[in-house]
A and B are shown apart, each in its own frame.
Chain A
Amino acid sequence: MKYLPLVLANLGRHKKRTVLTIASVALALFLFASLQTVVTTIAAAANFGSARRLVSTNATGIVFTLPIAYANRLQAQRGVEAVTWANWFGGRYGDGKHFFATFAIEPKSYLEMYPEMVMPEDQKQAFIRERTGALVGRHLMETLGWKLGQNVTMQGTIFPGDWTFTIRAVYVPTSAQIGEDVLMFHHEYMEERLGRPGQAGWYIARIDHTDRAAPIAKAIDDQFRNSSYPTKTGTEQAFNASFATMWGNVSLLMGTIGLAVVFAILLVTANAMMMSARERTREVAVLKTIGFRDTTLFGIVMLEAGVIALTGALIGLGGAKVLYRATHFNGGGFLPGFDVTGSTLAVGSAVALVLMIASGVVPAIRAARLPVISALRQVE
């Protein structure tokens, strides 16, 4: 600790350079944490889902629909306790300025299926009763400044036209993976507006026992195998995971970008450390003349690199943690529960440590090995 004033004084020698170097490290670690969090959020979403819920989609692909008439046949399937369905709406709000997840749902059965969505009972009943009612996540309400009972008009992108809903209920999710930036409305209302095509995007079935998920899923798919709309049924977790795989090998991509950023910053930091050490050749020689050991000088230079890396890590990683939590960032509703995890912070800290060692070790060795006489002669 007694060398800390010397370390800080050295870092204060070129304040702008030190600040910019710390800012570079902070930015690199902020980006690293952000990209890593995209990966962990997608992974968490893929892992979310009740083992007692099965999801049936059109076997051809999720963008294709299934007949609404399947609801009764699914309900009749042995082992199925309850069935609900939903449709992706894909609208925009405020002259197309705001985009968030919007679903048409069968309200009563959907809310029974998802007890993770919590709301006052009177609001719930008001939403179920009113055909043009909307159920909105709390954060979306706060973000857009909406009030309960307010009429909101959305512009349909898949289903054209203006769609006006009255907000009747506000939900709070008990799981971070259920986004708070979602608007839901009655599937019946959509059916009516579209001339009753009788289509649902996907079905969700609650089964009686988790052990029976595979045979029930197979039985459902067998039932519709030779129809015009064959199904593909799996657990909700597998369904969510399939969304994750739609992103491609996101982990590899994000990891590669993150490491590339960190590597680029490593070069910047190493260069700054080298410049700083080179400028102090004479001072290092003087310190050796005074009696500073090679190991002490090595430690002082490494400590300087450490202060830069640690400060950058605190700003970058801490900033990412605080910023995303404070702003409830969720990637427009596509990354619900976006939060920098402890493991990401730990990996980020390890990256900062590597950054410190890699950027500091060369100038530190140089300082330790500096021949005093030639260093003094060089500048005198």
Chain B
Amino acid sequence: MALVEIRDVHKSFQRDTQRIDVFNGITLDVEEGSFLALMGPSGSGKSTLLNLIAGLDKPNSGTITVAGADVSEMTPGELAPWRARHIGFVFQQFNLLPVLTAYQNVELPLLLTRLSKKERDQRVRLALGVVGLDDRLDHYPRQLSGGQEQRVSIARAIVADPTVILLDEPTGQLDAKSSQEVLGLLRRLNSEFRKTIVIVTHDAHAAERATTVLQLEKGDLIRSSGVPSLRSGDAAATAGMTR
């Protein structure tokens, strides 16, 4: 059984009187420990798919199961704690809280757990250590570079040890050097720490780090042929898809 199972999902938006169909029965499996890159042009539904997996949005029909839980059937009250436990989310614009230090930003997901202050402290320091920012604990976001901000954002996403890490254009705001650092970090999280990662990106270099790359076009999932180093040999990273 795949870690993430998306079955016959339909999703549409209503914009004024116009109905916009995003997905018309999409099906996808994401195996545990895989590193999946979702590529595609703007409006193809990449971010929508990420939001559906995170339980931030609801499908019109179909099921989305993450770690055995049917996300599409959960109430908002059930989704919040579920998300805290299972989902780590990284945004394109970092979305760190500017009034909190790097340490406090990373601590946020742990405030929702029963961990003691000491345990939280250990986890935060470990997460910031993994992303190489254990010397920036007391820095505010404005005191960090873009790459550092995104690494703090990744530390926040991994600190509670979620089941899946979802990243929406994580290198979209970064220069080439920072992008490489972030992508290297993601690869390390996947290979060294066996974290399941789903990344939405326009960047072919970013997709290159993934073990599986899928292309979304007009709501359809197709296996990408344009990414040169698709690591089809990685057994853990297989994604099944049908349309």
A and B from one assembly? yes
Q: Which chain B residues border A2 with CB–CB below 8 Å?
A: 111, 117
Cβ–Cβ < 8 Å partners of B112 in chain A: 290-292, 296
Q: How many A-B residue pairs have CB under 8 A?
A: 67
Question: Chain A residues with Cβ under 8 A from B51's Cβ?
Answer: 373
In A282-297, which residues have CB < 8 Å from any B CB? 282-283, 286-294, 296
- Choose one: B83, B97, B98; the contact of A291 (CB below 8 Å): B83
The residues of B that contact A288 with a CB separation of less than 8 Å are 56, 80
Nearest B-chain residue to A9, judged by Cβ: B99
Residues of A within 8 A of B99 (CB): 9-10, 12-13
Are the C-beta atoms of A287 and B108 separated by less than 8 Å?
yes
Main SS of the interface on chain A? helix
Q: Are A291 and B77 in contact (CB under 8 A)?
A: no
Q: Find residues 58-114 in chain B having any chain A CB closer than 8 Å to their own CB.
A: 76-77, 80-85, 87, 89, 91-93, 95, 97-100, 104, 108-109, 111-112
Q: List B contacts of A294 (CB < 8 A).
A: 76-77, 80
Q: Are A290 and B89 in contact (CB under 8 A)?
A: yes
* Number of B positions contacting A (CB below 8 A): 29
- A9 CB to closest chain B CB (Å) equals 4
Q: How many residues of A contact B (CB 8 A)?
A: 24
How would residues 248 to 290 of chain A score, 1 for a CB under 8 Å from any chain B CB and 0 otherwise? 0000000000000000000000000000000000110011111
Q: Which residue of A lies closest to B112 (CB)?
A: A291
CA A372 – CA B95 in complex, angstroms?
Answer: 13
Contact residues, A277-324 vs B (CB, 8 A): 282-283, 286-294, 296
A195 within 8 A of B: no
Q: Secondary structure of the B side of the interface?
A: helix
For A9, list chain B residues within 8 Å (CB): 97, 99-100, 104
| Contact status B80-A292, CB under 8 Å | yes
**Least Cβ–Cβ distance between A211 and chain B, in angstroms:** 69
- Which of A12, A282, A286, A296 gathers the greatest number of chain B CB atoms within 10 Å? A286
Q: Determine if B221 is an interface residue (Cβ-Cβ < 8 Å).
A: no
Q: A380, B80: Cβ atoms under 8 Å?
A: no
Asked if B207 is at the interface (CB within 8 A of a chain A CB), the reply is: no
CB distance B87 to A291 under 8 Å? yes
CA distance A342 to B89 in the complex (A): 52
Cβ A289 vs Cβ B93 within 8 A: no
Quick one: given A5-B104, A9-B104, A373-B51, are A290 and B109 in contact (CB under 8 Å)?
yes
B57 interface residue per 8 A CB criterion: yes
Name which of B80, B84, B87, B92 has the most chain A CB atoms within 10 A of its CB: B80
Task: Name, among A3, A282, A287, A294, the residue most crowded by chain B CB atoms within 10 Å (CB to CB).
Answer: A287
Give chain B nearest CB distance to A367 CB in angstroms.
13
Docked Cα-Cα span, A307 to B188, in Å, equals 43
B187 at the binding interface (Cβ < 8 Å): no
Contact with B along A1-43 (1 / 0, CB 8 A): 0110110011011000000000000000000000000000000
Contacts known (A5-B104, A294-B80); A289 close to B56, Cβ less than 8 A: yes
Q: Does B156 interact with chain A (Cβ within 8 Å)?
A: yes
Complex interface residues of chain A between 57 and 102 (CB less than 8 A to chain B)? none
Smallest CB gap from B80: residue in A: A293
Interface residues of B in 99-148 (CB under 8 A from A): 99-100, 104, 108-109, 111-112, 117
In the assembled complex, the Cα of A294 lies from the Cα of B83 at a distance in Å of 13
Q: Which residues of A contact B156 (CB under 8 A)?
A: 290
Does B9 sit at the interface, judged by CB under 8 A? no
B166 to chain A, nearest CB (A): 9
List A residues at the B interface (Cβ < 8 Å).
2-3, 5-6, 9-10, 12-13, 282-283, 286-294, 296, 372-373, 376, 380
Besides the known contacts A287-B108, A290-B83, 16 further A-B residue pairs in the complex with CB atoms under 8 A apart: A6-B97, A10-B99, A282-B95, A290-B84, A290-B108, A291-B82, A291-B85, A291-B87, A291-B109, A291-B112, A292-B80, A293-B81, A294-B76, A294-B77, A376-B91, A380-B92
List 12 A–B pairs whose Cβ atoms lie within 8 Å, in order of A's numbering. Answer: A6-B108, A9-B99, A289-B87, A290-B83, A290-B109, A291-B85, A291-B109, A293-B77, A294-B80, A296-B112, A380-B91, A380-B93
Chain B positions within 8 Å of A, measured between CB atoms, are 51, 54, 56-57, 76-77, 80-85, 87, 89, 91-93, 95, 97-100, 104, 108-109, 111-112, 117, 156
Please provide the 10 A-B residue pairs with the shortest distance between their CB atoms, ordered closest to farther: A291-B84, A9-B99, A291-B83, A293-B80, A286-B95, A289-B89, A372-B56, A13-B99, A290-B109, A2-B111
